[in-house]
Structure 1
Amino acid sequence: MKILGLAILIAISIGFYFRLTGDLLTGDRIIGLSVLATVFILMPIFLVVRWRGKKLEDYTLSEKNMKKMREKGID
Structure 2
Amino acid sequence: MKYVLQLLLVLFFGLVGYGFYQNSFIPKSGDKWIGLGVLVLAFGLMPLFIIYRYKKSKLKEFINSNIDKGNKENSEDQ
Same fold (TM over 0.5): yes
- Percent identical among aligned pairs is 31
Cα distance in 2, alignment partners of residues 13 and 37 from structure 1: 14
Contact 2:23–2:31 under 8 Å retained in 1: yes
Which consecutive unaligned segments of at least 5 residues does structure 2 have? 74-78
Cα distance in 2, alignment partners of residues 49 and 39 from structure 1: 15
Aligned-partner SS, 2:57: coil
Q: After the TM superposition, which segments of 4 or more aligned residues of structure 1 sit over 3 Å from their partners? A: none
Larger RCO (CA under 8 A, 6+ residues apart): 2
Which consecutive unaligned segments of at least 5 residues does structure 1 have? 71-75
Aligned to 2:52: 49
TM-score by length of 1: 0.75
Aligned length: 65
